Structures are given as structure tokens and as C-alpha cells.
Structure 1
Amino acid sequence: VYDSRIDQKIAEELIIGLQTVSTHVGDIPNKTGAANKTEAVDYANQPGLVEANSEGGEQSPS
């Protein structure tokens, strides 16, 4: 289940506005073909699409 507190954390880490994050995160389902944010997370967890880094977060594939 998607937690909106994630948007706040992203905004803080990237030093951008919460509305900017919300807008872009809201666009992800359309760009991935997912029906909602939860399906978009499942899409991102496909093997090879996103790798976990040593801090437990995610990083873009190389």
C-alpha cells in the first residue's frame, strides 16, 4: 500500500516542493500502464528495473 509520507520524504531529499513530487508520482501509473500507485510499485519491482542500494533504498539501474 502506498504511503503519502513517502512523497514528503522525496520532497525533502530532493529539496523540491511536495506538490511537485505529488504531481510526478501521480503521473507514474499512466506512464507505466499501471492502474494505480500500488501496481506501479509492483512494476518497479520487476527484476532488473530497480536495484536496492546498501542503505535499503532504491537506485536506478546502471
Structure 2
Amino acid sequence: MIIMCIIMAIGLIIFVMIIGATIYVVARLLMKKSRIEDRPLMILKERYVKGEINDDEYRQKKKLIND
């Protein structure tokens, strides 16, 4: 009886670990994809904040990036 409980507990722990690893991998892949796609817009915002480009340039370039 005790051995069955131990085996079930180990099985549950393994199951939870597999689910957790799957969620972790999927989340990492989604975060990596969003970082790659958002990078040009982040650079543009940094340049705007630093004053390297004006309002009109910012809007034009942002429109190009989003299209």
C-alpha cells in the first residue's frame, strides 16, 4: 500500500515537471520571438527620447516599421 502511494507520488511529480518544462519552453520561445520583432521599434523610441530624431521623423519611421 505504501509503495503504491510512493509510486503514484513520483508519477505525479514527474507529470508536474513535464508540464512545467513545456510551459517554460513555450514561454521562452514566445518571448524570444517578441523581442526580435519589437527591437526596431525599441531602437526608434530610444533615438526619439535621446533627441536624435524629431516628431515627424519618429512618426514616419514608426509607420514604416508597423507596416
The alignment's TM-score, normalised by the length of structure 1, stands at 0.26
Highest relative contact order (Cα 8 Å, sep 6+), 1 or 2? 2
Larger C-alpha radius of gyration, 1 or 2?
A: 2
Q: Relative to total residues, which structure has the larger helix share, 1 or 2?
A: 2
The alignment's TM-score, normalised by the length of structure 2, stands at 0.24
